[in-house]
């Protein structure tokens, strides 16, 4: 399987090396996450991917797991169907070691330390930027494996979409927007209801006589309501903008249900303060509420942030980015049966950061440094260094090294546990990492691009609930080495994108593989346009064998290959149809031991969006 996939990629590149200049070409995409300022993907000294709104529409993906698993170095695992808990591993790091932002606002939970990707409706998303590797020198805590920034949708005119598919999956959205340069607004509301299927199967039980088995064969449904809004207005050289994202859901599982609220918003003032000086003043707020009546628990996270960022053009070859960052976080857990507060804590984090970039002919350089002062664990200083060299307009290489850290969550620090077990520890230190990467990018012509990256990461002081009575402690280590290869091609009506990931992620003490990380992964998307009205494509996802928890030890989850189909048809300038078939071969596979996945299923959507 792997040999055939890599041979196909190589042959495609060889056959298309002489594509003519008048064919559709690959264009560099602008991103702002790698170094906190706008630059194209092919000029960043880091491994960056951008998923555009056009990519999302073409995929007809139902949720983030269908979309993000097509990216190199990204593994997602969900405990059941739509809305069930999803974990994202970026280059083998844990879910809580990936910084997630929505319109520049941190959205990770102080309960789990991770973002609930399962609650993100893709219809609310304009684009997603993925930066692999440590970016703590720019972004601070959590950016050990990388940064994922989500930008909410920016509508141009009215839009209505309605869809229905397998497992009683019905959704719809409606919105309107108008923009004139930097001035404008966009609002959208949406809802989704999925009848679902049983999240678990009997493999979740440790034998037929397991008294703690939670298996229940009933369907576990999912309901979601969501809203996004954004607006902006220019005042001279300054632009005042605001955005709001809200997702509210009910998720059923075998023992009951959970009510979830995810919300974030921000206000920004940005623009030129001088000929070579641009700034951004930003206030952000995020919240998460997770209530589970069956367990009589309510977890709440609140976060306010204030940022002042400045970009200085020192000359035509150099720029300097510098800023200060303040975050106030509050975490709370309540027992809803007794009405008592289990714990309630608040903390502040102050930081200053700076990054210098110099481009001198064929040589590109970048140095960044940041210091965080946290109210719980004290100070943390992180830095990074990157170098790039252009051998020719077609070929460039770059290398970077960096350090990262993750601050313990409120739960890891202060939760009293359950009868004293699995309690937090106020003496925890932050998790810390050091990483290095080498990358090569080759574009033989304007229609194709090849990229290869080799990386290594070492993470220490990992927080593990292995102390007395399973108390949290800094004891674990992780060692991660990997390689990623990606090929893109546009040729007449055809487009191809394929990648291969090899990764060795292991426990630094026991040398055992980290759970649920396959050593090998291959994904590919091939698509063809049939005139201006039809498009159709196919996706393939292969993931190798990986370890998971089972019984009193670990079990081996089998490898799997998924084939998905997607298509779009323009009925008129205002109306279009989109369709997706998931798991065409009806492959029976598990992402997590004891939890079911989607079988062969389909979805059809009709969209009304008047042409302008």
Q: What share of the chain is helix, strand, coil (3-state, %, to 5)?
A: 10, 60, 30
Mean pLDDT of the 234-247 span: 97
Residue 448 has pLDDT above 80, yes or no: yes
| Spatial distance between the Cα atoms of 231 and 438, rounded to a whole number of angstroms | 40
Asked if 480 and 504 count as a contact pair (C-beta separation under 8 A), the reply is: yes
Average pLDDT, the chain: 92
Greater confidence, 203 or 463? 463
pLDDT at 19: 39
| Torsion angles phi and psi, residue 30, rounded to 5 | -85, 135
- Taking residue 113's Cβ as centre, other Cβ atoms within 10 Å add up to 23
DSSP, collapsed to helix, strand or coil, labels residue 598 as: coil
Asked if 449 and 442 count as a contact pair (C-beta separation under 8 A), the reply is: yes
Mean pLDDT of the 203-228 span: 86
Beta strands in 236-339 (DSSP E): 238-253, 256-274, 277-292, 297-315, 318-335
Residue 5 has pLDDT above 70, yes or no: no
Please state which architecture CATH assigns to domain 16-608. Beta Barrel (2.40)
Tokens representing residue 434 in the block = 């050091």
Residue 324 has pLDDT above 50, yes or no: yes
pLDDT at 417: 87
Mean pLDDT of the 209-230 span: 89
Percent above pLDDT 90 for the chain: 84
Q: For residue range 594-612, list pLDDT tens digits in order.
A: 999 999 999 999 999 998 6
Mean pLDDT of the 426-430 span: 93
Q: How confident is the model at residue 554 (pLDDT cuts 50, 70, 90)?
A: confident
pLDDT at 210: 74
pLDDT at 25: 65
Q: Which residue from 70, 63, 90, 94 is spatially nearest to 247, judged by alpha carbons?
A: 63
According to DSSP, residue 255 is labeled T
| Spatial distance between the Cα atoms of 51 and 72, rounded to a whole number of angstroms | 12
Residue 107 has pLDDT above 60, yes or no: yes
Q: Please give the C-alpha separations between residue 414 and each of 375, 483, 569, in angstroms, as whole numbers.
A: 14, 38, 54
Residue 211 has pLDDT above 50, yes or no: yes
pLDDT at 24: 53
Q: For residue range 385-417, list pLDDT tens digits in order.
A: 999 999 999 999 999 999 999 999 999 999 988
Mean pLDDT of the 41-48 span: 94
In the block, which residue shows the tokens 């397991």?
210
According to DSSP, residue 416 is labeled -
pLDDT at 418: 84
In the block, which residue shows the tokens 């991770």?
114
pLDDT at 167: 97
Q: Which residue from 266, 234, 262, 239 is spatially nearest to 104, judged by alpha carbons?
A: 266
Mean pLDDT of the 538-564 span: 92
Mean pLDDT of the 427-433 span: 94
| Spatial distance between the Cα atoms of 581 and 589, rounded to a whole number of angstroms | 17
In the block, which residue shows the tokens 């020198």?
137
Cβ density class 177-208: b for 16+ within 10 Å, e for less: bebeeeebbbbbebebbbebbbbbbeebbeee
| Spatial distance between the Cα atoms of 556 and 519, rounded to a whole number of angstroms | 13
| Spatial distance between the Cα atoms of 340 and 428, rounded to a whole number of angstroms | 26
Q: Who's near 139: CB < 8 A, 6+ residues apart? A: 36, 99, 147
According to DSSP, residue 163 is labeled E
Residue 14 has pLDDT above 50, yes or no: no
Residue 231 has pLDDT above 60, yes or no: yes
Greater confidence, 10 or 178? 178
In this prediction the pTM is 0.94
């Amino acid at each position: 399987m792997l040999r055939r996939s890599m041979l196909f990629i190589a042959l495609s590149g060889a056959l298309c090396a002489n594509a003519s200049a008048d064919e559709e070409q690959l264009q560099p995409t602008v991103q702002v996450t790698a170094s906190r300022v706008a630059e194209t993907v092919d000029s960043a000294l880091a491994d960056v991917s951008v998923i555009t709104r056009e990519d999302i529409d073409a995929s007809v993906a139902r949720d983030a797991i269908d979309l993000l698993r097509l990216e190199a170095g990204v593994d997602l695992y969900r405990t059941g169907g739509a809305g069930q808990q999803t974990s994202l591993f970026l280059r083998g790091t844990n879910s809580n070691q990936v910084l997630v932002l929505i319109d520049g606002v941190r959205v990770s939970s102080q309960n789990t330390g991770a973002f609930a990707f399962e609650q993100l409706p893709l219809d609310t998303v304009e684009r997603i930027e993925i930066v692999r590797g440590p970016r703590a020198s720019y972004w601070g805590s959590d950016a050990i494996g990388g940064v994922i920034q989500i930008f909410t949708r920016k509508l141009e005119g009215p839009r209505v979409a309605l869809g229905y598919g397998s497992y009683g999956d019905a959704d719809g959205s409606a919105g309107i927007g108008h923009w004139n340069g930097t001035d404008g607004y966009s609002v959208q509301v949406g809802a989704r209801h999925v009848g679902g299927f049983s999240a678990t199967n009997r493999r979740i039980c440790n034998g037929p006589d397991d008294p703690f088995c939670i298996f229940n064969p009933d369907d576990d449904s999912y309901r979601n309501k969501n809203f996004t809004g954004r607006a902006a207005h220019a005042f001279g050289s300054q632009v005042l903008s605001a955005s709001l994202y809200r997702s509210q859901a009910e998720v059923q599982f075998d023992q009951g249900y959970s009510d979830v609220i995810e919300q974030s918003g921000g206000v920004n003032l940005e623009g030129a303060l001088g000929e070579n000086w641009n700034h951004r003043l930003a206030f952000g707020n995020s919240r998460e509420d997770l209530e589970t009546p069956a367990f009589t628990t309510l977890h709440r996270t609140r976060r306010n942030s204030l940022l002042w960022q400045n970009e200085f053009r020192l000359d035509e070859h150099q720029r300097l980015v510098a800023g200060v960052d303040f975050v106030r976080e509050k975490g709370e857990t309540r027992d809803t049966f007794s009405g008592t507060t289990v714990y309630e804590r608040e903390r502040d984090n102050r930081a200053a950061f700076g990054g210098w970039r110099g481009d001198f002919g064929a040589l590109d350089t970048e140095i960044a440094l940041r210091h965080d002062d946290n109210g719980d664990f004290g100070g943390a200083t992180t830095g990074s260094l990157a170098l790039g060299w252009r051998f020719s307009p077609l070929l460039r290489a770059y290398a970077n090294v960096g350090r990262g850290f993750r601050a313990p969550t409120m739960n890891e620090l202060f939760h009293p546990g359950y009868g004293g077990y699995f309690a937090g520890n106020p003496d925890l230190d932050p998790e810390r990492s050091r990483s290095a990467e080498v990358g090569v990018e080759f574009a033989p012509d304007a229609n194709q691009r090849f990229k290869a990256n080799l990386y290594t990461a070492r993470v220490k002081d990992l927080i593990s609930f292995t102390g007395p009575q399973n108390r949290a402690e800094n004891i674990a280590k992780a060692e991660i080495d990997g390689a990623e290869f990606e090929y893109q091609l546009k040729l007449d009506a055809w487009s191809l994108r394929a990648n291969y990931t090899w990764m060795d992620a292991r426990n630094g003490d026991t040398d055992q593989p980290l759970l649920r990380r396959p050593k090998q992964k291959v994904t590919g998307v091939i698509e063809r346009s049939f005139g201006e009205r039809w498009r159709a494509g196919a996706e393939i996802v292969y993931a190798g064998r990986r370890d998971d928890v089972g019984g009193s030890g670990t079990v081996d989850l089998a490898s799997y290959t998924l084939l998905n189909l997607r298509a779009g048809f323009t009925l008129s300038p205002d109306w279009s149809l989109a369709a997706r078939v998931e798991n065409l071969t009806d492959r029976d596979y598990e992402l997590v031991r004891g939890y079911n996945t989607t079988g062969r299923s389909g979805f059809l959507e009709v969209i009304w969006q008047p042409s302008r």
